Structure 1
Amino acid sequence: MTTPISIEDVPLNRFHQWLSVRCGGGWVLDGYVLSIIGVAMVPLAAALDLNGFWQGLIAASALIGIFFGGFLGGVLTGRLGRQKLFFVGPTIFVLCSVAQLWADSGMALFLLRFLIGIGVGFEYPVAGSLLVEFMPRKHRGPRLAMLTILWFAGAALAYVVGNLLLGSGEADAWRLVLASPAFIGVALLLVRIGTPESPRWLLSKGRTTEAEAVIQKVYGPSFSLRNLPEQPAEKKVSIADLLHSGYGRRMLFVAVFWSCSVIPVFAVYAFAPKVLQALNLSGAWASFGSVAITLLFVVGCVIATKLINVVGRRSMLIHSFLWSGLALLGLGYFSAGAELLVLVLFGAYAVFIGGAQVLQLVYPNELFPTEIRSAAVGMGASLSRIGAAVGTWLVPLSLQGIGIGNTMFAAAAVTLLGLLVSLALAPETRSMSLQEAASLAR
């Protein structure tokens, strides 16, 4: 009897491509909605007479929301399924983005963007788990990495659209800037209609008939559960397993490396014009420099995506932290340097950090079994956002208190901490099936 082909070894089909659009659209929207505040910050601060404290708090509010949304979304996705939670994030984005048209105080903006952050927190475990549990192993790493590219593409789009709206001459144009994510959110809700539940999650809940029906619908009538390599484990794992044994070590690695890779990035995105102005880039240099650097983040992620199955996960993460950390050290040392040198160093950081960025979704989705995969992704997103929120809140205070040079040195220290943790704990999961990658026996 011939061994049935595993669904992890089938070629990409139309469903895989369509699912990539459905999941990837969430990351475009995440990048857009989290970055748009950086475009609107200067005019809204003036219009609402906000001091540095409130500017930092509003910029960090969505990150604080991610902390709660990641935990909640991860737990609920594990219990209720991926499909049911697939519409929560976009719905929150639409409602809260539109509501910002009438925000009249720093507190109102803080609360609305906090809720937006909760929606983003739901996206990480829901869309990531759904995509990885359908994707063949050969394409799993690149497709998960693609989500990060789309996040930066959404961030770049936010700066382009935001600057166009601010330049329109409309009164209170910053309100239109903050409300603009609603259009993407509506489109995303429509495109996600008809998405099936993950057969791996159904199988983990003992719903074998439904799991087989999904497999046959996606891969064809000749496929069945025999083509799914992952079978229910003899010993069930629970969320508590994320805190001890081998999974506790993996959770520590994911939380620390994810935090160290996002803290400098979110701080830059929230206050890109201010950071660039502090580095002696003013006027058009500051406005369009932020767009150019964001595009270089995309370039770095594209390069990393192309190399992820070539150099492996561990090697890519180590080199990403090493060279991006050195670029930040250069920015600290040459903070008063020529405009071109500053742009080159900032651009180098943007390109080199791409490896760590794309692995934020690859590692947590590969290192944990189906029962706790979404919880692990949600916990990683939540814990990483604690540092990101604090770092973002401190940026305006840091620029004013210790200057741009020391601020860049602090960002370099965070990045090099990620390097040390990766050297000690980063595993290699290239070419493994999901069951092999998540196994503690290897």
Structure 2
Amino acid sequence: MIVFLALGGIFLDAYDFTSLAYGMKDITAEFGLSPVWAGVVNVSIMVGAVVGALFGGVLVDRIGRYRVFMADMLFFVVAALGCAFAPNEYVLVFFRFLMGIGVGMDLPVAMAFLAEFSRLTGKGSKASRTAAWAPAWFTATSACYLIILGLYQVVPHADLWRYTVGFGAVPAVVILLVRKKYMNESPAWAAQRGDLERAAAILRDSYGVDAVAVSSAPVPTPPRGSFRPLFNRTYRLRTALALAVALAQTFAYNAVAYGLPVIIASFLAQGPLTTITASLVLNLGFAVTGGLLGIRWARSGAWRMTVLGFAVQLVSLVALALIGKPSSVLALAALLSLGAFLFAQAWGPGAHYMTFASLSYPTSLRGVGVGFNQGVLRVGSTLSLFLFPILAASLGPRVFWVIAAAPALGLLALLLIRWEPVGYDVDAEDELIPAGDRP
């Protein structure tokens, strides 16, 4: 249940991204947005996510996983309703920013839960469960397009984006209530803070283990929330690789997946119903399938799967650039190239960039590690979301040449730094971190 609820926040992240991604064309028309203002609306959620990730990562390690987990759901509820009723682009940008704070806070704590409530190897391992965020994301994306398809039949088309975005408040309220009943604090975090009695109680409640605290431990000084340890001798290369993989995958994915409705409607010259259906099929048929396979293949190692994923994405983007605006004969080839990109994203870099970010650091550093990674990643996302409408308007299909640089650079980083976090007991390093170097 805890793993399911941890993935629930990721489900909402994806739903909120997708609902507004589809609605951008209607939002632009309703508010009369220029390409620059369309970029501002796009990036507002990412700016909020930078703030949420940096501060949320610190809070996750400082006050605990559970408190942050409960708080971030409120951002989803308020922001979804605020966006749905926005009377102009200024109000929409404000509530998109609030939504971004919730998104940014949620991922560090979700990944901490997935890592700390999982075993090191075997079924239900840390690698498999951190990779499980990808199928959760793409399942939510597919669910969003299903909801859009249903609403398309019954609501005015001009208001379709409002109904879709507002509906996101419903699962957010449900997850908030269920979390309150079933969620618990991470026993690893409680033990690391010296609260052994609480850690034992959590083990009894969550695992049915008859755990007893047989000794006491001094409660350490409250953490200061420093990012400095991420760049010491042990972690600097891991931090660099995690950032490189995260930035490369997010730039390419946001441009392709967030812009998917635009790509299908404009570059492939399809109508609204075909755009919704094609987006659903691509996400459900390729991305969800790839994500489920990614869980199974996680034991093969994050490094290897990410290298293969970037390679497939590079080939797919080059193919899309060469196809350009396709004739009816090449339209299927273009759609298959988009499908191959999403399939590779789901089992390769999209799944394992969170593996690198989560499993490169022990319990005491995991929150700030994931938070820092997400904060920098969101800067890259902001850049890609802001630039995509502008570049797509000026370059057309040639924009895929620009996007192809992202997986190429990701491949280069992986070949230079061969760090494999899967199967490595990183939590044992907590004992080796000097007290002055703890966050």
Distance 1:55 1:167 in 2: 27
Structure 1 stretches of at least 4 aligned residues deviating more than 4 Å after TM superposition: 436-441
SS of the aligned residue for 1:353 comes to helix
Matched, 1:303 2:293: yes
Q: Which residue of 2 aligns with 1:164?
A: 150
Q: Which residue of 2 aligns with 1:11?
A: none
User: Mapping of 1:232-311 within 5 angstroms?
Assistant: 239-283=227-271, 284-295=273-284, 296-309=286-299, 311=300
Matched, 1:362 2:355: yes
User: Mapping of 1:33-432 within 5 angstroms?
Assistant: 33-138=16-121, 139=124, 140-170=126-156, 172-194=159-181, 195-224=183-212, 239-283=227-271, 284-295=273-284, 296-309=286-299, 311-337=300-326, 338-354=330-346, 355-405=348-398, 407-432=399-424
In structure 2, the CA distance between the partners of 1:221 and 1:243, relative to structure 1 (3 Å rule), is closer
Distance 2:128 2:429 in 1: 16
Distance 2:197 2:429 in 1: 26
Cα offsets for 1:26-72 (capped at 9, x unmatched):
11111101111012112222222222112121122111211111001
Distance 2:423 2:257 in 1: 34
In structure 2, the CA distance between the partners of 1:393 and 1:440, relative to structure 1 (3 Å rule), is farther
In structure 2, the CA distance between the partners of 1:37 and 1:411, relative to structure 1 (3 Å rule), is same
Q: Which amino acid in the other structure matches residue 335 of structure 1?
A: G
Distance 1:374 1:349 in 2: 30
Q: Which amino acid in the other structure matches residue 290 of structure 1?
A: S
Kept after mapping to 2: 8 A contact 1:237/1:372: no
Cα offsets for 1:354-387 (capped at 9, x unmatched):
2111112222211111111011101111111111
- Which moved further from structure 2: 97-106 or 158-167? 158-167
SS of the aligned residue for 2:279 comes to helix
Identity %: 26
Matched, 1:433 2:428: no
SS of the aligned residue for 1:135 comes to coil
TM-score relative to the length of structure 2 = 0.89
Distance 2:77 2:336 in 1: 37
Segments of structure 1 that go 5 or more residues without pairing to the other structure are 1-17, 227-231
- Which moved further from structure 2: 355-364 or 64-73? 355-364
CA offset at residue 412 of structure 1?
0.9
CA offset at residue 244 of structure 1?
3.2
Kept after mapping to 1: 8 A contact 2:146/2:280: yes
Superposition CA RMSD, Å: 2.2
CA offset at residue 265 of structure 1?
1.4
Q: Which amino acid in the other structure matches residue 160 of structure 2?
A: A
SS of the aligned residue for 2:255 comes to helix
Q: Which amino acid in the other structure matches residue 287 of structure 2?
A: F
CA offset at residue 436 of structure 1?
4.7
In structure 2, the CA distance between the partners of 1:425 and 1:265, relative to structure 1 (3 Å rule), is same
Kept after mapping to 1: 8 A contact 2:6/2:114: yes
Kept after mapping to 2: 8 A contact 1:238/1:372: no
TM-score relative to the length of structure 1 = 0.88
CA offset at residue 271 of structure 1?
2.4
Q: Which residue of 1 aligns with 2:15?
A: 32
In structure 2, the CA distance between the partners of 1:314 and 1:174, relative to structure 1 (3 Å rule), is closer
Kept after mapping to 1: 8 A contact 2:201/2:211: no
CA offset at residue 224 of structure 1?
4.4
